Copies of this chain bind each other. A is one copy, B any other.
Amino acid sequence: MSERTYTLTVACPDRVGIVARVASFIAEQRGWIIEANHHSEPDTGRFFMRNVIQASSLGLEPDAFRQRFAALAAEFQMEWQLADSARPKKVLVLVSKHDHCLVDLLYRWRSGDLPCEIIGVVSNHPDLRAYTEWHGVPYHHLPSGSAEEKAAVYRRVGEIFDAAGGELIVLARYMQILPADFCARYAGRIINIHHGFLPSFVGATPYNQAYQHGVKLIGATCHFVTADLDAGPIIEQDVIRIDHSDAVEDLVHYGKDIERQVLSRGFRYHLEDRVLLNGRRTVVFR
């Protein structure tokens, strides 16, 4: 698990020969491909690719790889990146009072399951400071405040994120709605866990809605955040069975398990460069 790897992800218009050219390029650099995934989207004519390369097999550094690869990428009009496992992504976690997702993320992070650097936890409540700091992670208490103060709060969040070179914001049951300009500025870099099976049950009370509708399964959804509430591209979902004997409190209770599982999976997929945006949808190479 700990061997250094480079992960090359590519999205481009589909045509014959892309795999051949990319694979040949990697082979010319003596790169040993450990894992490879491809996807052709017939509707849109887009092609998506992910290659995990053993770092020690390559005769060159990531930057040199990137420079050489750029010409090929330009020829095929690729959106692409090369991630280096020796440089884990920097992540800021936003949370309110519910701690089940945060506890799970911090445990998985310190046990090596989530390959990232957690640069801090921001919360509109003071409650989770002690637990967070026990893990050696800085805790920023930024109360929500009035509507006017909101802009200042998110300016501060942006400063914390940017100053630390942040690459991903994870909303781990953060019960505030982010301002549209914040969403736009960090588009593709914010993921959320929603406590409902989207597109059903948008908003703040999904378990209540699920109860009223008498559904037999409840779920959770990990998705990219856009200005459109709970409607960003979906990364991961899952459900659990409930029945007539479960009250709303029971749904809230059981839901915690599925929320933390779905968030940790979606988060890990993102950290491992398995998630590529495809319009309103995602490609997730699992």
Which residues of A are interface residues toward B (Cβ below 8 A)?
Answer: 1, 16-17, 19-21, 23-24, 26-27, 30-36, 38-43, 48, 57, 99-100, 103, 107, 111, 113, 134, 197-200, 212-217, 219, 233-239, 243-245, 247, 249, 253, 257, 261, 278, 280-284, 286
Contact = CB atoms under 8 A, between A and B. Distances in A.
Oligomer: number of copies = 4
B57 A36 contact: no
B39 A38 contact: no
Contacts of A237: 215-217
B24 A20 contact: yes
A48 to B, nearest CB: 8
A23 B19 contact: yes
Nearest to A17: B27
B33 A27 contact: no
B31 A16 contact: yes
B282 A42 contact: no
Given A217-B239, A239-B217, A261-B257, A27 B36 contact: no
B280 A213 contact: yes
Contact of A234 (B213, B257, B286): B213
Interface of A is mostly: mixed
Contacts of A17: 27
A210 to B, nearest CB: 9
Q: Which of A27, A42, A243 gathers most chain B CB within 10 Å?
A: A27
A19 B31 CA distance: 11
A244 to B, nearest CB: 4
Given A24-B20, A247-B42, A238 B217 contact: yes
A253 B281 CA distance: 20
A38 B111 CA distance: 29
B236 A239 contact: no
Given A16-B27, A103-B107, A111-B99, A286 B243 contact: yes
Contacts of A212: 280
Contact of A198 (B27, B40, B215): B215
A249 B42 CA distance: 12
B16 A32 contact: yes
A130 to B, nearest CB: 9
